[in-house]
Every structure is written in structure tokens, then in C-alpha cells.
Amino acid sequence: MTQAPGRIGLVLARASQVLGEEPYYHEFLEGLERVLTPAGLSVLVKVVTDRAAENATYEQWAAQHRVGGVILVDLSPGDDRVGLVRGLGIPAVVIGDPSTAAGLPTVWTDDAGFAREVVRFLAGRGHTVLGHVSGPLAFAHTQLRRGGIEAEAADHGLTLLTAEGDYSQESGRTATEQLLAARPQRPTAIVYDNDVMALGGLETLKDRDLQVPADVSVVAWDDSAQCQLAVPALSAMSHDVGRIGELAAAAVLDAMRESSADTVYEAPKAHIVVRDSTR
Amino acid sequence: MEGRYGIAMARRESPAAGPGSRALVVDVIRSAETISRGELAELTGLTQPSISNIVRELIADGIIHEIGSLDSVNGRRRKLIAINPGNRFGVGFHLGADSVTCVAVDVTGGVVGREVVPRLPDEAVVADRLAERFDDFTAGLDLPRDRIEGLAVVAPAPVPGSSGAGAELTGVRAELVERIGVPVLVENDAAAAALGEFWSRRVSREQAFGCIYLSSGIGAGFVFGGALFRGTSFGAGELGHVSIDYDGRPCPCGNLGCVEQYASTRATVTAARENPALRARLALDGSESSAYDAIAQAAVNGDPAAYAVLTEAADRLSAAATSVVNLLDLGRLVLTGPGVALAGSIFARRLRTHLARTAHSRQRHSVSVELSARPRDAAGIGAAVLMVQAAVAPGHTTRAMRSER
């Protein structure tokens, strides 16, 4: 095969159960395919369990000419994947902050800014002790959100309790236990970095006989049908994930045409949808 | 009374270690997540020696593995066994109107890879193309052929009198087996989705389980005793053609008032486009699927007109679904398909309310209504799971559907 193949690759380094659970990636892929399928390109997602396997996948794809471009997600500061795919000569797009992309085109979401917005919202409702259940702290977007939450909490003089999860429902439960074990103060509001962990948190709060939202308010980052169906229905940081997928598709098509572009495609703004889990 | 029936059923099914015992054991391990041999004997009604033999075989085949031990109450160590996810894979292709969704799953139903490949309009279903796609997809994921249990190809059930992809598929199966060298199954998409939800949710085989697949048509699938219910000719589950009005809208199938004419994603898009203000506000003139997603997104974000269109569809679907729940005395129902990806909460809430008010069984047991965690890929995932089930818990797939290598 000498022609660039009509296929875009995306590797997710996570337990396979997580791809099963996370509405974020389903809607992201849906947006991606809305643009790429009519353009005659297919989208291949490979789920691997660790970063070493992810890097090996890029090497194999390049050697066998299996993809015409890749989309990189969950980057860490100074991530070696950027240099790797560049060295392999695969056109690539980064979903994340331009600071992690070393000149590759990016689809950028203002994680720090939106994180500040969540804290402002909760501070405005009189909460003084906040919990934040984040995704893996190795990811740049997690650090940006955590930074935004810390800065805004400090501006409002709020106490911040934190725990780290891995986006799975189980980790949402465990992290919530950790926050509730904090003494002497218990959070009156908890922000979760995704909907799946928030659903886990809701279960833990129910097990502890804590009322949502009377005792603890809950906000999920990423809205989803499951958030809306939860009892109580979850207030959520909603963003148009399908649109982010469409932008990523446009970006990767651009990257395949001209290899040197370091364009920043800005994702639409996120906003809080208030439902029954916050007071 | 329910409990007594439950136990009686489980015991009657397997009085001695027969050909169905292995499937029973796999099913019980799958739904329990981790279990000891003693508990297995208790739950299956099989004797300890039978359990030991079957477990030994399953370990040798790499289907289950021992995952350490636990102190039991009396101090004896109990070894726990669980499904071994990473050893074998199933592959499923879902033929859509303009794309093919290819999915690979491990033995627990976890997705290890997926690819959506564009499909030309009216592209014929030919063994060559499918074989090429299979080779390309599994090579892209680096899945060794000898660890792939097979390929299941699923498509919407054809309307009587038309020749859809479903009808063509049966014709290419034998050739496909020849080309790719693994077993091939053909199934309708809604039935496959039901088996996928049953398997990956670890639903117990004691449950009367149903699944509704909402798309441009409406289908359903049922799993009873751990096996997909297929009817006389693999046509079971045509929920979309349950009539909710004997004098209602005509349907291409020949009947009047089929619920599909009111509640499918196609019917919803048609209804929304008839409202000029809504049509302009949500830009509904693009493809049917993007128009539907726009309506769904607007409805959950509080657009009253979009919400009204969707609740109308949800209420009609609830009427038909309640008839099915009553007919089969279902205990658990999952909603899936692209139609519930964004607006699933509206459908699930309306259905829950409707069932709580009207289901015949409401004073005997509750009927749980859940939303699929991966509604858009459910048919492809289900297809892949069909192959996993056929391989690790054989006996649930009829010979007629199966092409051996």
C-alpha cells in the first residue's frame, strides 16, 4: 500500500470496561464519524491496557501503513507520544491543551476556565467545603481542571478536598468514600470529572444515608442520558461532545493535507445544566 | 413463591451433568463475577464432582481462571474462579445504511476495538468485501486469528417482501466461512443487541430479560434461560410491528398502526420537521440521524417543542412495550439503539411511569427499566458477544444458524 489509507486511528489506554461505560467517547466518536464517514474515511479505535501497548500500536500502524492519521487523547505534560507519531510520520491531532501538543494541531477545551465556573456556581449557592473527584492526575486536562478549581476555591475562601479516580464507576465510589472520611469537615458539594464517577458517588452517598442534594450536592462533568435518568437527576457540566468530535475530524483532515499546521480549534463553551442534585 | 419457582427452575434444568451443564456453569460464573466451586454446585444443582470436571475443562480451555482465594467462615481457603477476559475474542459487524460498525469484544463483553467503515449506498452484501473488512479490522487490532471465536454479521430484519441486507446475508455465509476460516453467524440487529446487553450486564439466566432497540425501525430481543429467543424462523422480536391502533397509520409491512410508524427515530424526525419553527431552529434538513440527535439534544436541554415530539414517541413506545412486558412477564428491560443515545432518559422515565401504573405484574414484582451504556454500538457489540457465547457457553445457538469452520 503506497497511498495513505482511508482510516483514522485512535488508541485508548484504559481498561476495556471503561470504553463500555463512558458516554463521552461514544458521543465524541459519533461526531467524528459524522464528518469522516461521508468523507470516505473509517475510524478505528483500539483499546489497550497501558501506554507501552499504545506506543507499540502506533509503531505497528506506521510500519504496516494501516492509518492515514491518528487522534491523540489524554496527554500528559511533555508527552512522548507527540514526538513518537511525528517521528513515524503519521499526521496527528491532539485533543487537549496546546501546551502538550508541541506544534501539532489541537482541539482545545478550556478545562481550567470551565472548572472555575463550576466552583463559582457552587460558591454562589453558599457551599464552603467542596470535594473534587478528578480523573487521573497524570493527564494535562486533569491538572488544568484541578488548577482551575483550586484557584477559584482560593478566591472564594472555600475549603477544597480532593481525590483521584480513573473514570470508572467503582473509582467514583472509592474516591467518594475518601472524601467523606475527611475530618473534621465533610464536603457539602462534590464535583466529579465524569458522569460515570458521579453515578458511583451517588451510590456511595445513598449507602451512607446522605441525602442529595440536602446533605451533599453533586455535579457531573460531561452530561449524559445516564446523568439525566439518575435519581436525583444530576446537575452537569454539559458540553457539546459531538461537536468536539466534528472539530477533531476537520482537524485531522487538515493535518493529512498539510503536515505543518499547528492550528488550535476551539471547542464550544461548556455550561452548567442545573437539575435536581444541587442546592 | 417467586423464590420457590426460581430454585425449582434452576434444578429442573440440570438434574445431571449433561451437554447443557457447561453452558450453565459458564453462565453462573459470568453473572456472579467471581465464585467458588462450592457456590457453583449450590447455584447450579450439579454435584461437586461434575463441577470439578467442568471447571477443570474450562480452565484448560482458557475460558475461566483461578483468581486467588478467600478465607471462608470456617477457616478453609476457597479458590475463586472468574471468566478469563483477555484470552478469546468475538467479532461482530453491524450493517447500517451508510456504514458498517465492526466491533471486537473479549469474553466478558468488554470492547477491545471498533471501527466504523463507510458503506456505499446500495452496496451489495458480498462475501469478498466482508472478508476483506474482517482481515483489515482484525489486523488493525492485531488480533491473532486462532484466538477469534468467529464473526457474526447483523442487520435490520427485512420488511416482508423486500430484499434487505438481512436476506442477502444468509446467502453469503457459507462463502464467508470459507474465506476467513472462522465460524460465522447471521442474526438480526435487535436480537444481537439484546444478547450483548444480557451478557455484558451479567444478567442472571433466571431473569426473563428483554431489550428494545430504537433506531429508524424498532426491534426487540428476549433472553430466556440464558438463550436468545428466536421464534420459528429467527423472526422473534418485531416490536416495531406491534400495532397500537387497529385503524392507525399504514405500515409497509401490511398492518395498520404499527408502533414503528409513531415512535421510531424516523417517525420522530418526520414529526419534528412538520413543525416549521422547530425545523428552522434546530436545522433539521440534514441527514436523518443528525436531525434526530439535534431534536434529542434540544429536548434534554429543555426545548419544549422538541420535548413534546419525543414524549409523544416515548408514550407510544411505552404502550407497545407494556403489551410485550405483559405478554412475556418480563422482569428486566434495557433500552438501547441510537434512538436512546441522547434522549434515553425521556424514554426510560416515560416507560417506568407507564409500567408502574399499568403493568399486569405491578403488584407481584417490579419491572426494571435501564438504559444501555453504549446504545450506538449495541448491535455490533451484541453480534460480537454472540460469537463469544456460542464458543464459551455452547448450546444456546441453534445448529441452523451456525456455520462451522
B348 and A273 within 8 Å at the Cβ level: the answer is: no
Partner B contacted by A5 (CB < 8 A): no
Q: For residue B261, what is its C-alpha cell?
A: 410508524
* Closest partner CB to A19 (pick from B111, B142, B371): B111
In chain A, ranges of CATH 3.40.50.2300 domains: 7-109+240-268, 111-238
Q: Which of A107-111, B31-35, B99-103 has the lowest mean pLDDT?
A: B31-35
Residues from chain B contacting residue A42 (CB–CB below 8 Å) = 115-118
Residues from chain B contacting residue A20 (CB–CB below 8 Å) = 109-111, 200, 373-374
pLDDT the model gives residue B13: 41
- For residue A72, what pLDDT band results from cuts at 50, 70 and 90? very high
pLDDT the model gives residue B6: 36
Euclidean distance between CA atoms B260 and B269, whole angstroms:
12
Residues from chain B contacting residue A43 (CB–CB below 8 Å) = 115-116
B286-329 per-position pLDDT tens digit? 999 999 999 999 999 889 999 999 999 999 999 999 999 999 99
- Could you tell me how many CB contacts below 8 A there are between chain A and chain B? 103
User: Where is pLDDT greater, at A96 or B75?
Assistant: A96
Radius of gyration, CA atoms only, chain B: 22
Euclidean distance between CA atoms B368 and B345, whole angstroms:
14
- What ipTM does the predicted assembly reach? 0.91
Q: For residue A186, what is its C-alpha cell?
A: 465533610
Chain A contact probe: residue of B114, B134, B385 with most A CBs at under 10 A: B114
B82-132 per-position pLDDT tens digit? 888 777 899 999 998 888 999 999 988 889 999 999 987 677 788 899 999
Q: Which CATH class is domain A111-238?
A: alpha beta
Q: Which helix (H) or strand (E) holds B114?
A: strand B111-118
B116 and A37 within 8 Å at the Cβ level: the answer is: yes
Mean pLDDT of A146-154: 97
Q: For residue B45, what is its C-alpha cell?
A: 444443582
A213-255 per-position pLDDT tens digit? 999 999 999 889 999 999 999 999 998 899 999 999 999 999 9
Q: Which residue has cell 500502524? A: A61
Q: Where are the beta strands (DSSP E) in chain A?
A: 7-13, 42-48, 69-72, 92-95, 106-108, 129-134, 159-164, 189-192, 217-221, 235-238, 264-266, 271-273
pTM: 0.90
A164-191 per-position pLDDT tens digit? 999 889 999 999 999 999 878 899 999 9
Mean pLDDT of B7-26: 58
Measured in angstroms, the CA of A27 and the nearest CA of chain B are apart by: 8
How many other CB atoms are found less than 10 A from the CB of residue B147? 12
The residue type at A55: N
Q: For residue A195, what is its C-alpha cell?
A: 458522569
Measured in angstroms, the CA of A2 and the nearest CA of chain B are apart by: 16
- As a whole-number percent, the residues of chain A with pLDDT over 90 amount to 81
B293 and A30 within 8 Å at the Cβ level: the answer is: yes
Q: Is the pLDDT of residue B11 over 50?
A: no
Say if residues A119 and A130 touch (Cβ distance below 8 Å). yes
Q: What share of chain A is helix, strand, coil (3-state, %, to 5)?
A: 45, 20, 35
- As a whole-number percent, the residues of chain B with pLDDT over 70 amount to 88
Q: What is the CATH number of domain A7-109+240-268?
A: 3.40.50.2300
- As a whole-number percent, the residues of chain B with pLDDT over 90 amount to 59
B375 and A29 within 8 Å at the Cβ level: the answer is: no
Q: Is the pLDDT of residue A1 over 60?
A: no
pLDDT the model gives residue B87: 78
Q: Which DSSP string corresponds to A106-131? A: EEE--HHHHHHHHHHHHHHTT--EEE
